[in-house]
Structure 1
């Protein structure tokens, strides 16, 4: 059986290669346990988020690759398509995470994946905007289970010094999916006209083909949460060890919902401050509109090809992938678990980039640099979620609800804000959008620093209470 005391011993003296990957410095049995957990949970989470974001982003790739002209979408239909998806996504998030605290995630999440895969196939046959609106709504509803749900599950298995890296690796799948969507569209555009399908229709068909096996794999590899987990690749001793690891971390197991619990969640600062943090992050990017691609498409001299329009903007996602991983490793090691320094840095980069774009009359080379460097602000999601797991570690249900609330209210704002500041008719010079991102990024920095102070006070108060308990025990003995 795995011995928890071995892991405690490792924590006291970390070797240099721990900072490359934390499992390298663990005892052999724990290292094997972590390898199997990473191989199953992290791989499924990353692939699942990849197909979710591929579905989410392919509407942009299809729009600039023939769908706009074929279906006559010359007004703000793209904004409405994004909004329909967002409304479905918002409606489903908190109910889905509540379901995950009562039922087996290994059944619920893969079922939702299968649902959105089928609906993605249906998108290839849509022949008008209203059909796309309806399909996008139900795709958003099905996809609402995945990101907050998988963040909740990841937070149920990993400790503080392991969490940011896993959460950020998970999140990089979104940037990789956005990149792949551009490359995929550039490739499948060559199939334009084959078997009666236009290039953008082939995009949705191939998307569904990629998604189906990943969704089916979830029924077998997703490990639930430790207290109800029985995956084929972990022994009973390893599952018991996983529970012990979480107990040492202070991560509570599932408990019934009570009036006192619900009131405690709603009356505390965690849900409000962390939700604001994520709202400012999630809406502090230009992902609501394919800004770089629309800039390239609007260019007359030189005039870019469809392939170039789809592939050049992937440089933004490449920057996002690199900075996300840098944020994760530095947060876990250099900053010793502090999440706020990379968040502040990402916010500052956003301000520099989007203030420059709002001016617009800047050198062409700097404009391109700003489009590319805008990826620096997109990789903070994993850090925000890791911070939420740590702050809410003593209440499992609060943790599930807070994670879902963060994501949900971020998309509540995203449901209507793009209709005002990212209007398609203003492309590509979205001055209102660029100014809005600058303001949201400033708010992100202020919120992160405020949470840092509030959490520090909470930790100090808890330690003071424990000291008094220990003094009382010592007195009565």
Structure 2
């Protein structure tokens, strides 16, 4: 939690904070290592465009360097992660199903193998990140999954794909929760949601690009002795490798351990002071008392439930429901290219809605994360309830598949909310954000086998009903977290007055 500086002074390594009205953690910090940190001037219209535009020149320069490195690597890394994660769906509807005779629930099993590997690796990876430099751990995992993606192109049976998908999931488990932890270690409250959501849009871009890529490389079928769907894995690997290697040079680790070549010594100290003023705790040992504190708090349970509900409610988008609806259509009958390209409109809606959520949350809603989450849940209920009915006008059928993208853009907000709530304990923040993603994928390991069975395609009645119900639960959970967080803030404020 960010401390309230109103009417107080805070000494941080010789730095004094003047009294400042407004929300906690608003102060703009000059780059000098000592001296008086002035109160932030009244918010200007430029900050509604981008948060750093009304900050000091020194802080703008620092944030430009940080964004250029962290957001570039995070976005490219998440892009290739989703490119290598979603390619199995595009390959499946583009010849792999027929070539390998996958006529039962093999696609579900491939997805489950990936999910099991992902689930096993997440929390251990995030705990390792509090002790090992992210600039070593994360890029190394990316190189590993890139090599495994190349290997998938040579699979000739469902069993070999199961094994490789498990290993790909295990390697990919380091990236998303790891980068969420890194981003949360560098940015302040008024900066965090936009960066988190920009990072998250890369997943939708990767999913879109995989469809376009499959439509293009399908024409390579027969060249080099590879089918069109096999070429998809080769090209994905070629795209992924340079991105993975760039992480060794771009990732700045975390403020207290950074040795990034693009920061000066004073900027490294500046980064630490920013987080101290934000109330973001530094690393501390894992102790029995710390684990007890984490696991007896409401935070880990409610925030994990929030992300699990969001993630699994949105599986109607991540499953190839739209593509299989198009493939099943006979009037008109769509080409392989159209089947891969048309569903990308859903991801385009997800990208736009994600950015709208970020900007409105930081500006119009003054840092509140729950209103966009409620909106996304309502859109999900409307779309998935309509698809569950199934016998609806064709135009509305298409609209539901496409508009459902509005419910897929909430990940960044959920994670930003978790960083803010758990800001007073670094290890709790790492474990909570890792657990949020972990439990979400624990459910993804078995839930699709029950409600998104390939044999039910394209009329996934159970899946659509489940997504609508999970979305309703998401709304309830978000409101509960809002109430619990407000109560905790009130108790802490009361204790500070008593002290």
Q: TM bucket by the smaller chain? A: over 0.9
1:45-444 → structure 2 map (5 Å cutoff) = 45-285=74-314, 286-444=316-474
Describe the shift of the 1:367–1:139 C-alpha distance in structure 2 as closer, same or farther (beyond 3 A).
same
Separation (CA, whole Å) in 2 of partners of 1:5 and 1:426: 65
Deviations 1:421-446 (A, max 9, x none): 00001101000000000000000000
Runs of 4+ in 1 over 3 A off after TM superposition: 3-12
Describe the shift of the 1:381–1:4 C-alpha distance in structure 2 as closer, same or farther (beyond 3 A).
farther
Residue of 68, 72, 97 corresponding to 1:39: 68
Separation (CA, whole Å) in 2 of partners of 1:168 and 1:36: 19
- 1:475: which partner in 2? none
- 1:25: which partner in 2? 54
1:1-12 → structure 2 map (5 Å cutoff) = 2-3=31-32, 9=38, 11-12=40-41
SS in 2 for 1:405: helix
TM-score, normalised via structure 2 length? 0.93
Describe the shift of the 1:7–1:230 C-alpha distance in structure 2 as closer, same or farther (beyond 3 A).
farther
The answer as to whether partners of 2:279 and 2:424 remain within 8 angstroms in 1 is yes
- 1:473: which partner in 2? none
* Structure 2: gaps (5+ residues): 1-29
The answer as to whether partners of 2:32 and 2:266 remain within 8 angstroms in 1 is no
1:460 equivalent to 2:490? Answer yes
* Structure 1: gaps (5+ residues): 470-477
Separation (CA, whole Å) in 2 of partners of 1:16 and 1:294: 46
TM-score, normalised via structure 1 length? 0.97
**What is the CA-CA distance between 1:264 and the residue it aligns to?**
0.2
Separation (CA, whole Å) in 1 of partners of 2:348 and 2:34: 41
**What is the CA-CA distance between 1:8 and the residue it aligns to?**
5.9
**What is the CA-CA distance between 1:101 and the residue it aligns to?**
0.4
**What is the CA-CA distance between 1:28 and the residue it aligns to?**
0.8
The answer as to whether partners of 1:7 and 1:26 remain within 8 angstroms in 2 is no
The answer as to whether partners of 1:53 and 1:174 remain within 8 angstroms in 2 is yes
The answer as to whether partners of 2:256 and 2:282 remain within 8 angstroms in 1 is yes
The answer as to whether partners of 2:215 and 2:340 remain within 8 angstroms in 1 is yes
Separation (CA, whole Å) in 2 of partners of 1:3 and 1:309: 57
SS in 2 for 1:226: coil
The answer as to whether partners of 2:317 and 2:405 remain within 8 angstroms in 1 is no
Separation (CA, whole Å) in 2 of partners of 1:43 and 1:10: 31
Deviations 1:282-340 (A, max 9, x none): 00011452000000000011000000000000000000000000000000010000000
- 1:446: which partner in 2? 476
Separation (CA, whole Å) in 2 of partners of 1:258 and 1:120: 39
**What is the CA-CA distance between 1:12 and the residue it aligns to?**
3.9
Separation (CA, whole Å) in 2 of partners of 1:423 and 1:85: 16
More helix by share: 1
Separation (CA, whole Å) in 2 of partners of 1:328 and 1:109: 26
Separation (CA, whole Å) in 2 of partners of 1:176 and 1:74: 29
Deviations 1:384-413 (A, max 9, x none): 000000000000000000000000000000
Separation (CA, whole Å) in 1 of partners of 2:34 and 2:201: 33
Separation (CA, whole Å) in 2 of partners of 1:8 and 1:359: 59
Describe the shift of the 1:146–1:7 C-alpha distance in structure 2 as closer, same or farther (beyond 3 A).
farther
Question: Could you say what the CA RMSD is over the residues aligned between the two structures, in angstroms?
Answer: 1.2
